[in-house]
């Protein structure tokens, strides 16, 4: 059987892996984080989180200091010493199709299998198309040294960026797919902290575990596109979608979360996950699911176009040489992640139409600049709205929601705002002299 206190390795130190490694060390385990990118490893080993995630830097420093946590590019020696190996690498969207690119998951699993020197449990956490884990089991069987008891199970992760630490240490549920009794025992020991606090554990087979993850994201995406579709009806009918969402949310069967109408979902997960599920559902002949998700995706992308159109309308049909102040670049607040960011997408579309776009984001300015170097970047909201013909609020950072609308109005050429996230206090902005347009709200 595995030792009382299994030693842990975590392969991949992006948002998921770095947080998982730090959280496992925080729970008292000996943890080695492994990545092929020496810059990431060097930063983490020096106590610097290479992305913005509230609370993670403090926890990283604290656990490095205990000596329980370390980061390396040396997969062979890390794996040789470990008992439980978490696969936390990315599964990006393929360039040529909607399918998930499984190269990193395959490479990480192969590397683990090859370097094992003792019995082990390999735990997949990455988001993968259903059927992947079964294939990876074949890889492990081929590559692992003979005579070792090696098992691959699936344990999807549901953490949100911006709340990654909290979600990892206090998950809503733990899903264990394909685990033997031994592997289940090992994993229950690893998660003893959160499980002791009453977290439900769902023990199931591999395909169900894989699918729970992508269906959770697909459901969240569907909820957002649903409210955005209704927002369109609200606009046409003169109704207010924010009041409507509050009223819907009082129904316990519906719930208020993920009913914020606006610019729609972005980031490294929801958009690619629904597309990968669409692709996989098609492969499996489950066309109804792919049809539904296709609509969800289209409604979502339509919101970005809608905000571009609203900006054009606000500028009498053309943004050529108009100054557009964009507040927000991250795909949501509390992160510096700009992957598939609706905010940057809209900013870039307006830039292409000849607008002079100036973007400000409290955290994502640098990551945004790397992706869209042709846009202008400000170092404050005030600077971004200076001389603006129209201001767009595209990410609902507190700093924008709580901004003083009078001060900002005085800096603009024309005090005109499009609130694409529905979070600004409309009355305050109107009484400060702003022409205010919101998505799905009364004009």
Q: Does 17 bind ligand UGA (CB under 6 A)?
A: no
Q: Does 344 bind ligand UGA (CB under 6 A)?
A: no
Length of the chain: 443
Least distance from C-beta 68 to ligand UGA, angstroms?
Answer: 25
Annotated binding residue at 40? yes
Would the annotation count 436 as a binding residue? no
Residues 19 and 368: their CA atoms lie apart, in Å, by 22
- Select from 279, 332, 339, 416 the one that contacts ligand UGA (CB under 6 A): 332
DSSP letters spanning 150-207 = EEEEE----PPTTSHHHHHHS-S-EEEES--HHHHHHHHHHTHHHHHTT--EEEE-HH
Decide: helix, strand or coil at residue 118: coil
Q: Tokens in use for 78? A: 């890390």
Nearest to 273 by CA among 103, 171, 156: 156
φ, ψ dihedrals at 379, nearest 5°: -105, 5
- Residue of 88, 234, 269, 315 marked catalytic: 269
345 interacts with ligand UGA by CB under 6 A: no
Q: Binders of ligand UGA: how many residues, by CB under 6 A? A: 22
Q: Which stretch binds ligand UGA (CB under 6 A): 45-53, 255-263, 318-326, 430-438?
A: 255-263
260 binds ligand UGA (CB under 6 A): yes
Q: Does 269 qualify as catalytic in the annotation? A: yes
201 is a site residue for ligand UGA (CB under 6 A): no
Binding positions for ligand UGA, 68-127, rule CB under 6 A: 127
Q: Per residue in 165-178, is it b (16+ CB within 10 Å) or e — as a string?
A: bebbbebeebbbbb
- We find the least distance from the C-beta atom of residue 421 to ligand UGA, in angstroms, to be 7
Out of 262, 325, 365, 438, the only residue in the binding site for ligand UGA (CB under 6 A) is 262
In angstroms, the Cα distances linking 30 to 90, 178, 327, 385 are 23, 25, 42, 49
Which of these segments, 54-62, 66-74, 260-268, 400-408, binds ligand UGA (CB under 6 A)? 260-268
Check binding of 265 to ligand UGA (CB under 6 A).
yes
* Residue 44 CA from chain centroid, whole number: 20
- Residue 267 in the binding site for ligand UGA (CB under 6 A): yes
Beta bridge partners of 416: 435
Quick one: 82 or 328, whose CB is closer to ligand UGA? 328
Does 438 participate in binding ligand UGA (rule CB under 6 A)?
Answer: no
Q: How far apart are alpha carbons 266 and 230 in whole angstroms?
A: 19
Name the residue among 9, 87, 12, 20 with its Cα closest to residue 60: 20
* 232 belongs to an annotated ligand binding site: no
CA–CA separation, 340 vs 352, rounded Å?
17
- Does 264 bind ligand UGA (CB under 6 A)? Our answer is yes
Q: Does position 419 bind ligand UGA by CB under 6 A? A: no
Residue 341: phi and psi, rounded to 5, are -80, 120
Nearer Cβ to ligand UGA, position 178 or 262?
262
Check binding of 224 to ligand UGA (CB under 6 A): yes
Structure tokens at 291: 């049809």
Contact 154, 124 (CB under 8 A): yes
Residue 391 neighbours by CB under 8 Å, 6+ apart: 324, 325, 326, 327, 384, 385, 408, 412, 415, 416, 417, 418
- Which stretch, 28-36, 174-182, 268-276, 288-296, contacts ligand UGA (CB under 6 A)? 268-276
Q: 360 pairs with which residues across the strands? A: 327
Q: Does 269 bind ligand UGA (CB under 6 A)?
A: yes
132-171 positions binding ligand UGA, by CB under 6 A: 157-161
Three-state secondary structure of 20-43? HHHHHHHCCCCEEEECCCHHHHHH
Q: Which is nearer to ligand UGA, 258 or 301 (CB)?
A: 258
Q: Is 91 annotated as a binding residue?
A: yes
Q: Does 266 appear as a known binding residue?
A: yes
323 is in an annotated binding site: no
d(CA 31, CA 6): 9
User: What minimum distance in Å lies between the beta carbon of 266 and ligand UGA?
Assistant: 4
Does the footprint of ligand UGA cover residue 220 (CB under 6 A)? yes
Query: Is 70 or 423 the residue whose CB approaches ligand UGA more closely?
Result: 423
258 lies in the binding site for ligand UGA (CB under 6 A): yes
What residues line the site for ligand UGA (CB under 6 A)?
127, 157-161, 217, 220, 224, 258-260, 262, 264-267, 269-270, 273, 331-332
Annotated binding site: 35, 40, 91, 127, 158-161, 213, 258-262, 266, 272, 332, 339
Annotated binding site for substrate: 158-161, 213, 258-262, 266, 332
Active site residues: 269
């Amino acid at each position: 059987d595995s030792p009382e206190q299994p030693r842990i390795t975590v392969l991949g130190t992006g948002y998921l892996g770095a947080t998982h490694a730090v959280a496992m060390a925080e729970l008292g385990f000996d943890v080695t984080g492994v990545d092929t990118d020496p810059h990431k490893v060097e930063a983490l080993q020096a106590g610097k989180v290479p992305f913005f995630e509230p609370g993670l830097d403090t926890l990283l420093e604290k656990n490095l200091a205990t000596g329980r946590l370390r980061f390396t590019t040396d997969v062979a020696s890390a794996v040789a010493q470990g008992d439980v190996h978490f696969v936390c690498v990315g599964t990006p969207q393929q360039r040529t199709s909607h399918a998930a690119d499984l190269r990193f998951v395959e490479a990480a699993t192969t590397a683990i299998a090859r370097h094992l020197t003792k019995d082990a449990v390999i735990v997949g956490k990455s988001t993968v198309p259903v059927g992947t884990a079964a294939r990876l089991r074949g890889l492990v069987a081929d590559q692992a040294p003979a005579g070792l008891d090696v098992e691959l199970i699936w344990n999807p992760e549901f953490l949100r960026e911006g709340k990654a630490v909290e979600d990892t240490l206090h998950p809503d549920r733990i899903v264990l797919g394909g685990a033997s009794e031994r592997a289940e025992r090992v994993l229950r020991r690893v998660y003893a902290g959160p499980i002791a606090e009453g977290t439900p554990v769902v023990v199931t087979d591999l395909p169900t575990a894989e699918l729970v993850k992508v269906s959770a994201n697909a459901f969240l995406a569907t909820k957002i596109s649903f409210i955005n579709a209704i927002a369109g009806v609200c606009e046409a009918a003169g109704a207010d979608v924010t009041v409507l969402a509050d009223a819907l949310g009082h129904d316990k069967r519906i719930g208020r979360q993920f009913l914020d109408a606006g610019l729609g979902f972005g980031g490294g997960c929801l958009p690619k996950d629904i597309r990968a599920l669409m692709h996989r559902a098609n492969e499996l002949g489950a066309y109804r699911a792919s049809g539904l998700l296709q609509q969800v995706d289209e409604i979502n992308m339509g919101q970005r176009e809608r905000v571009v159109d609203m900006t054009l309308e606000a500028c009498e049909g053309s943004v050529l040489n108009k100054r557009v102040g964009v507040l927000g670049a991250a795909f949501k607040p509390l992160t510096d992640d700009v992957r598939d960011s609706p905010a940057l997408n809209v900013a870039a579309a307006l830039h292409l139409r000849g607008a002079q776009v100036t973007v400000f984001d409290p955290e994502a300015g640098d990551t945004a600049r790397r992706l869209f170097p042709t846009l202008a970047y400000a170092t404050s909201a005030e600077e971004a709205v200076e001389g603006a013909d129209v201001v767009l609020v595209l990410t609902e950072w507190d700093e924008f929601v709580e901004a003083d609308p009078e001060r900002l109005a005085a800096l603009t050429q024309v005090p005109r705002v499009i609130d694409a996230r529905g979070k600004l206090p409309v009355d305050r902005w109107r009484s400060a002299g702003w022409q205010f347009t919101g998505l799905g709200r009364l004009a």
